[in-house]
Amino acid sequence: MMVDAEGALPWYGLGGSFAGQRLRGGKGWDICSILHRSAGTDGELTVGVVRRATGRRGKDGPRVPIEPELAAETVATVVVMSPLREVHDGVDVNALVDELNALARKVARDERAWKTREMIIDGKVVVAREWEYAGIWTLYHLTEDLILYVMGPAALRPDAVELIRLDPDEVARMDTPYLSDLE
């Protein structure tokens, strides 16, 4: 699964038996996310694609992929920061950031924290890494140039994870004024 290092990221979403809404969560040069709201459940899973090849060895040299350890740290950071999306009365969230970043670095390097699990991407079975923290679950796989991940409440963890490439018109726009204005 090669992606042009300078080109647009592919859209990926849950496949298989997924039934529900797919909503654009965010799109940029180096990240793309789609929120999945399953029919009949509360909560949502996020499928994200992050550009892995972001570094350059020389001013005009080709982009090179970040190391697997840094990719794991990127995913772990998203997981540990997720619970902070909720409002916490009386808690200084900024004071927690350094502590949470340190936790993400520690977990990313601890092979015992991650479980190995199969994931299907575009019909191909691949080996992925899985982790849970504070009720948030994630599963990710590295390609040569991408990090593909699924994240959400552990209660919504699917038995099997299948990601399929989507056309942008298969993903609904969010109906909030802020996100609609960005698109």
pLDDT in tens, 90-129: 566 666 777 778 888 888 788 888 899 999 999 999 999 9
Instruction: Output the pTM of the full model.
Output: 0.78
Token pair for 26: 């965010």
Cβ–Cβ under 8 Å, residues 114 and 129: yes
Q: Which helix (H) or strand (E) holds 69?
A: helix 68-81
Nearest to 30 by CA among 80, 79, 77, 65: 65
Instruction: Please provide residue 23's backbone torsions phi and psi, each rounded to the nearest 5 degrees.
Output: -120, 140
Nearest to 120 by CA among 8, 13, 46: 13
Which residues sit opposite 153 in a β-bridge? 136
> Can you tell me the mean pLDDT for 20-44?
86
* Domain boundaries, given as residue ranges, for the chain: 11-182
What average pLDDT does the structure give for the chain? 80
